[in-house]
Structure 1
């Protein structure tokens, strides 16, 4: 009798162990399988939250099928206590294992609200935008000019949220004074900075965090520009009339200020290269403007004849060759254009009314182009 009981008990134990093993295998398979989410979502994890709250939110949004299995999987992988606060993009079909990894690995938030401080050539703006998880594109919430408009409530609201991300976007062609002035007025940064050397900052988009020092942001911009200048200098054409990376940077800054048309940069560079080769003065208005403003603010008007004749270190109507410093912070494309100009016979160019320029080889051709431009200016003035 006891043998029968022991035999039955052993059989039940084997069956129970078999079933338990099946349950574990099923659980592991479900935990690692593609999830039910059909469209990406942005998951916000508040500071002080836990896996129980996160799993409930995920269940409610249809991202996981079983909250308990999600929590067990997180416990089993020793990640329950590694939950990070932030806003995280959960892609469509993400498994529970993948979602646990997303919310515990740390780093910057990958979705949600972003504030972009834009440093432009003529104005500064602050933009609040939200990432649309379905399209992966940002949607603008509000944009304002802090120097001219009151601070919107939406900006105040997102500044108070812990998972808001911040970015500083520096446009090509801004001066170092404009960057310094903008950084000094961004309240989430700390410390003080003096004006960096002109041309030493790479125009780009830089992610920052609350409490970052202004000095550290400038250092990142300088390091990025050093890399760009070195790469452009290394790849320069053999016959380019430049003697150093600094001269390359100076010429690139002039190209940057002369044209906003990407396709023209190498043509504009060719004009200046041809003039340098022939010992001609560059005679470019942006250098005259820099001589007037020295990069502080925007001139906001046309040049006067007296300013075109005034001798300053940057007035290329008066001085020979390149000015002593850059006149702005050029981007990668202008650096590459300065290093590798097009091969053209052009030594003149003037605006053509379309946003681009008309190029010429002879003074007679150039005078005709200038006359056309003056006519366009007169017609616009009478409209």
Structure 2
């Protein structure tokens, strides 16, 4: 073999090896760009808002340090034709996720639903604020629906009792779901909750499902312990049957719109408000808070007894002393008032 041929083969081998190395490097870089761990643990979710463009998504990824290399993220997104397939949603991020995996989720709209749980909600404004915190729409969009009499009527409620349609529980709902569709979902769940059995029990105590929920809101306001709810419900049902004033302190607090009240005084009882059950007979026009499932079922499965009075125990255990006569009740009430005085609870 001539020197010239040997030199040519050597040069060819060197070039081949260099190309092979470059190919391996390119493949490794390509793997890292597409399949390698690219997502950080800086954020738990990537939120893509309704109307966001591809550039908005890239800006979010960069500003929130979601991708280790935003330029690589952009390259993979463009390669996978994501710029023309941006879909709003709440997308789960995991440390070490690849660009290809994330962009595949984004392109397909494979978002993770919000596990929305609510309980112990007092006012519509509180509920709207919680909804606005958990979903894309802000609280003003939700309160506009909750306060809309036409919407309430369309679902078979009044403006006053519309709040009873929302059954406290855990719901899986997509983050970017429109407020009106979220409310429609709650209505579907309400209909599922009010089974024929529950409706029959409501009819047995001569109450509509909405009225049961209104009474349940009072029971929840009175009861610190779930196991006492059926007894409290039975007491109020006894009062309703007798045509007596309910005289429920939680309704007075609601009517006064002062939730700092710890001791209901005579001056609180004078307010002229349909929620003041010391002045107005029967149930108030709407709930004083969102009733829990436990309180609703406590009304439907109330404890049968002949008590018509109750007063919180003076040991501040959260339980109540029940009484059949006003004389018995006054003894219990004086004990509790004395305990309040001893602890200097004057309002």
* TM-score with structure 2 setting the length: 0.57
Alpha-carbon spacing, 1:49–1:31, altered in 2? closer, same or farther (3 Å): closer
Task: Report what 1:166 is aligned to.
Answer: 138
Report whether the alignment pairs 1:359 with 2:321: yes
Instruction: Provide the rounded CA distance (Å) in 2 between the counterparts of 1:324 and 1:98.
Output: 54
- Counterpart Cα distance in 2 of 1:273 and 1:248: 17
Deviation by residue 1:188-207 (Cα, 9 ceiling, x = unmatched):
xxx96466332642155999
Q: Structure 1, residues 104-157: CA drift from partner, whole Å, max 9, x if none?
A: 44488999xxxxxx98449769869999xxxxxx9xxxxxxxxxxxxxxxxxxx
User: How far apart, CA to CA, are the structure 1 residues paired with 2:40 and 2:66?
Assistant: 6
| Correspondences of 1:119-130 after superposition (within 5 Å) | 120-121=122-123
- Root-mean-square deviation (CA, aligned residues, Å) is 6.0
- Check whether the contact 1:350–1:358 (CA below 8 A) recurs between aligned residues: yes
Quote the residue 2:211 is aligned against.
250
> 1:124·1:182 contact (CA, 8 Å) conserved in 2?
no
Deviations 1:162-208 (A, max 9, x none): x96425799xxxxxxxx779635xxxxxx964663326421559999
Contact 1:42–1:87 (Cα < 8 Å) also in 2? yes
Note the 1:1-383 alignment, pairs <5 A: 20=23, 23-24=26-27, 27-28=30-31, 31-35=34-38, 37-40=40-43, 47-50=52-55, 53-54=58-59, 57=62, 61=65, 63-65=67-69, 67-68=71-72, 70-84=73-87, 90-101=93-104, 103-106=106-109, 120-121=122-123, 165-167=137-139, 183=147, 193=151, 196-197=157-158, 198=161, 200-202=164-166, 219-230=184-195, 233=198, 243=204, 247=208, 249-260=210-221, 263-273=224-234, 281=242, 283-286=245-248, 298-299=255-256, 302-304=268-270, 315-316=281-282, 327=287, 330-341=291-302, 348-352=309-313, 354=316, 356-360=318-322, 362-363=324-325, 365-375=328-338
Alpha-carbon distance change, 265 to 77 in structure 1, aligned in 2, over 3 angstroms: same
The higher-RCO structure (CA 8 Å, 6+ apart) is: 2
Gaps of 5+ in 2: 115-119, 258-266
Give the number of aligned pairs.
310
Q: 1:194 to 1:336 in 2, by over 3 A?
A: closer
The residue that corresponds to 2:117 in the other structure is none
Q: Which has the larger helix fraction?
A: 2
CA distance in 1, matches of 2:106, 2:189: 31
Contact (CA 8 Å) 2:35, 2:99: kept in 1 or not?
A: yes
SS class of match (1:50): helix
Larger CA deviation: 220-229 vs 22-31: 22-31
Offset, 1:371: 1.9
Normalising to structure 1: TM-score of the pair?
0.53
Greater strand percent: which structure? 1
